[in-house]
Amino acid sequence: MPDILTLYIAFWVFIIGLCIGSFLNVVILRGLSGESIVFPPSKCPKCQHALKWWHNIPLLSYLILRGKCYFCHEKISPQYFAVELITGILFTAVFFKFGLTINMLLMLVIFSLFVVMTVTDLREKIIFDMHAFILAGAGLIFSLINHNLLNSVLGLLEGILIMEIFASIGYLFVKSRAFGIGDTYIAGALGVIFGWAPLLLVLILSLIVQAVITMPLYLFKLYKSKNFKTLISLVLFLLIAAVYKILSLKTDINIIILYIGILLVVISGLYCVRQVTRNIKSASEAIILPFGPAMFIAAAVFLFLN
């Protein structure tokens, strides 16, 4: 259990994280609008009225104002509250993971960029080049402290190569890139941070995160469009695969049953792929979600669990 001093420091790290989160909201919104992050002072995005100091207290102002502008009473986006809270929590988690070290400072910068790039990607599917370059720069310093330059260079090249290969595969299905160029920049920057070997694990975990997020949305879309043939093929494949996995864990299972299970998984999988690829031949029928957030979630999980 952490001692009193550690908890005291963690409290102030959390408060600093909330304040940084408030600033990150400015970076996000003004970056998307093309405004300076310095001038003009904070204002309501609806009525453009300059805000008073007590309108900018992280978390508290949103709660006190009940999520509405003090002047025009229009609703304030919950993004402000969410970004501040998430940044505060991430800063605290980074402190507990790395302690008061140079690694902690670098990770605070890296996680701040994670937050900014995640929100811009989710809101407008935009990754600003400068953010990706700063992320790579912070990652380079981190890597030089914790491993070596060659490892980072290999990670950079690996991230770019893998993402460009997968992005090009999209032309076979939806006649466009599977991922934006911003996702390639992110993968390259993560390669600099982690090095070439751990990056593979991060990218694999990213695919799992993306699948977990996308699958329910895709199934709902199939149900809503009454495409029951594809829906049943997906559910059937997942069900057969799950049953096979459970059976394979049993030590006393007949080997013939296992072979039959493998055959059923392969057949149902091929049929499922056939139905899905038929269904997403046009980009309008595909569910296109930004991949950047999945990579950031995977990177965070890897950093905290490693």
Cβ pair 9, 17 in contact under 8 A: no
Cβ pair 46, 72 in contact under 8 A: yes
Count of Cβ atoms closer than 10 Å to residue 253 Cβ: 13
Looking at residue 220, its pLDDT comes to 76
Looking at residue 6, its pLDDT comes to 92
d(Cα 258, Cα 261) in Å, to the nearest integer? 5
Q: Give start and end residues of each alpha helix (H) in the chain.
A: 4-33, 60-64, 79-98, 102-124, 129-146, 149-173, 181-194, 196-224, 228-248, 255-279, 292-305
Looking at residue 282, its pLDDT comes to 47
Looking at residue 264, its pLDDT comes to 80
Looking at residue 288, its pLDDT comes to 63
Cα–Cα distances (Å) from 86 to 45, 60, 89, 103, 238, in that order, read 22, 15, 5, 20, 33
Cβ pair 173, 161 in contact under 8 A: no
The residue ranges of the chain whose pLDDT is under 70 are: 1, 173-174, 251-253, 273, 275-288
